[in-house]
């Protein structure tokens, strides 16, 4: 009887043909993406027609409407606007200056969560700490009546790891300074540039005014303090907070033809900070992921559903939890999740869940990468992105597509975060990587969830 060998041979031939088809399709959408301008067009549209988009602002309402219109224009289906509320902070008038012994205007941006100064501002001596830890080492009450200044700098890295290393001084510094009696808190911007453009970002409320200094101004205060004379700084800052601002997660789908309930979730965050136009953070991510999904759809209706989400409050928080709450029932049907939120620099490595490493879909995806100078990391994905952290905690598999962040923190949360800083070719390379991945996953049965080991203890 030769029936069984013939059946096995037929199955192997079908699998081989499927793998070949996936590879050919991935390469085709990759090549199309590398010359396509859709990601750029979307990014340009958002930054030009809406601009800066802080959650809780009228601009965010315009961004919501822009997102719905863009999904409709591009032919996405099942468009949803999912409302939630989240605490927000908004900026008012701000100024800072050295008033003695030598007067200097200082370039600052208030940190999210900062309190206002009393009317007319505050004037107080500064105490400079070259590291955040040096401030933490001070006893309670030791900074009474003073403005704490932390001048620790941030290094330039390809993977952005230096941001995590020093980010705590922005996120948690104001309450720690207040705990030691400080009446104000200033930090050197979390940035890698040397301009007089400070970089804002979220911070924990400390009940005191808190702001980021431009790097040159942080160095100025360091030099002045080193001379040994008391340095007096005046801060005048206003801001407001809303404990329950309206926000929205907006999504559109490329519906699957065979398994529409199996969903690939990807996207970027629609909101931004206010100094620039939120181009690299994160209009680029919106453009990359939306364009990638559209390019896959143009290659033929996929078997699985691709859902692009424009998350509505990443910078000030809330979108991840709201999205999980709204979609908890379908977590088991989510094949994989990913977020593009590291700017517009080219993707240099990818990390995918190891459980699917040998699947033909991942073989096809890897075959599309060498032309784009992208390496496949052996390490499993680590973070995924802030807006999919809720899905990850619920067990949804996720990917890390690691972008070159060498210049990202020159622009991040600053007035220089504008469209002209984006290289269209690098933007297209990002789109091509995402499109190749989406094509292989959406047109296969790849399962990224780890399987139980046979015979394992129960």
Sign of the C-alpha dihedral, residues 357, 360, 362, 366?
positive
Model confidence at 455, pLDDT cuts 50, 70, 90, reads very low
pLDDT above 80: residue 12: no
| Count of C-beta atoms within a 10 Å radius of residue 325 | 11
What residue segments make up the domains of the chain, in order of their start? 20-87+244-442, 102-230
Biggest distance spanned by C-alpha atoms of the chain:
99
Across the range 309-328, mean pLDDT stands at 98
Q: Look at residue 451 in the predicted model and tell me its pLDDT.
A: 75
Query: Among 5-19, 202-216, 389-403, which stretch is predicted with the lowest mean pLDDT?
Result: 5-19
* pLDDT exceeds 90 at position 337: yes
- What tokens appear for 450 in the block? 């780890």
Per-residue pLDDT reduced to its tens digit, 44-87: 999 999 999 999 999 999 999 999 999 999 999 999 999 999 99
Rg of the chain over all Cα atoms, to the nearest angstrom: 25
pLDDT score of 6: 37
CATH 3.20.20.70 for domain 102-230, yes or no, is no
437-447 pLDDT tens trace = 999 999 999 99
Looking at the chain, the whole-number percentage of residues with pLDDT higher than 70 is 95
Per-residue confidence (pLDDT) for residue 19, from 0 to 100: 80
Question: In what helix (H) or strand (E) does residue 53 lie, and over which residues does it extend?
Answer: none
For residue 336 the two structure tokens come to: 């994989």
CATH number of 20-87+244-442: 3.40.630.10
**pLDDT value at residue 452:** 60
C-alpha–C-alpha distance, residues 216 and 196, integer Å: 6
Neighbours of 230 (CB within 10 A): 13
Please compute, for residue 109, the number of CA atoms within 13 A of its CA located in the half-sphere on the CB side. 26
What pTM was computed for the model?
0.94
Tokens standing for 388? 């999919």
Euclidean distance between CA atoms 105 and 213, whole angstroms:
11
**Cis preceding-peptide flag for 250 (omega within 30 of 0):** no
Q: DSSP label at 118?
A: P
Average pLDDT, the chain: 94
pLDDT digits (tens, 9 = 90+) for 51-63: 999 999 999 999 9
Are 309 and 250 a contacting pair, CB within 8 Å? yes
- pLDDT of 403-444, one tens digit each? 999 999 999 999 999 999 999 999 999 999 999 999 999 999
Rounded CA-CA distance 144/137 in Å is 15
Between CA 97 and CA 104 the distance in angstroms is 6
pLDDT of amino acid 458: 40
**Over 60: is that where the pLDDT of 353 sits?**
yes
| Sheet strand arrangement including 375-376 | 375-376, 347-351, 400-403
* pLDDT tens sequence across 158-208: 999 999 889 999 999 999 999 999 999 999 999 999 999 999 999 999 999
Q: What is the pLDDT of residues 100-144, one digit of tens each?
A: 999 999 999 999 999 999 999 999 999 999 999 999 999 999 999
Per-residue exposure over 419-456, b if at least 16 CB sit within 10 Å of its own CB, e if not: bebbeeebbbbbbbbbbbbbbbbbbbebbbeeeeeeee
**Residues belonging to the active site:** 314
User: What's the pLDDT score for residue 112?
Assistant: 97
């Amino acid at each position: 009887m030769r029936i069984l060998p013939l059946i096995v041979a037929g199955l192997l031939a079908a699998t081989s043909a499927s793998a070949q088809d996936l590879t050919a399709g991935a390469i085709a959408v990759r090549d199309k993406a590398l010359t396509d301008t859709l990601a750029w067009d979307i990014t340009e549209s958002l930054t030009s027609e809406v601009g800066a988009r802080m959650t809780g602002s009228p601009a965010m309402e315009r961004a919501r409407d822009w997102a719905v219109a863009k999904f409709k224009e591009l032919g996405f289906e099942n468009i949803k606007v999912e409302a939630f509320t989240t605490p927000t902070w908004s900026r008012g008038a701000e100024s800072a200056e050295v008033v003695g012994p030598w007067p200097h205007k200082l370039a600052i941006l208030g940190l999210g969560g900062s309190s206002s100064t009393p009317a007319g501002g505050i004037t107080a001596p500064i105490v400079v700490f070259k590291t955040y830890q040096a401030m933490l080492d001070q006893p309670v009450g030791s900074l009474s009546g003073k403005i704490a200044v932390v001048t620790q700098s941030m290094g330039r890295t390809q993977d952005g790891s230096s941001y995590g290393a020093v980010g705590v001084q922005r996120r948690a510094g104001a309450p720690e300074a207040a705990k030691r009696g400080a009446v104000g808190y200033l930090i050197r911007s979390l940035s890698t540039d040397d301009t007089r453009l400070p970089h804002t970002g979220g911070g924990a409320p400390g009940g005191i005014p808190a702001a980021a200094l431009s790097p040159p101004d942080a160095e100025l205060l360091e030099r002045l303090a080193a001379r040994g004379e008391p340095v007096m700084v005046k801060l005048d800052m206003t801001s407001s907070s809303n404990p329950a601002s309206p926000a929205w997660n907006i999504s559109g789908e490329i519906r699957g033809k065979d398994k529409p309930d199996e969903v690939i979730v990807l996207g970027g965050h629609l909101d931004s900070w206010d100094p620039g136009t939120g181009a690299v953070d994160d209009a680029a991510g919106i453009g990359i992921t939306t364009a990638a999904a559209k390019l896959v759809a143009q290659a033929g209706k996929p078997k699985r559903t691709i859902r692009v989400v424009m998350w509505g409050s990443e910078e000030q928080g809330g979108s991840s939890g709201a999205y999980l709450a709204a979609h908890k029932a379908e977590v088991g049907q989510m094949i994989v999740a990913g977020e593009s939120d590291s700017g517009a620099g080219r993707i240099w490595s990818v990390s995918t869940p190891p459980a699917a490493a040998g699947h033909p879909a991942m073989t096809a995806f890897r075959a599309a990468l060498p032309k784009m100078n992208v390496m496949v990391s052996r390490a499993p994905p680590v973070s995924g992105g802030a807006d999919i952290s809720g899905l990850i905690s619920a067990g949804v598999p996720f990917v890390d597509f690691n972008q070159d962040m060498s210049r990202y923190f020159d622009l991040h949360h600053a007035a220089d975060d504008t469209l002209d800083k984006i290289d269209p070719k690098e933007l297209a390379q990002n789109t091509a990587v995402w499109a190749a991945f989406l094509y292989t996953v959406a047109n296969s049965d790849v399962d990224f969830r780890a399987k139980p080991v046979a015979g394992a203890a129960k």
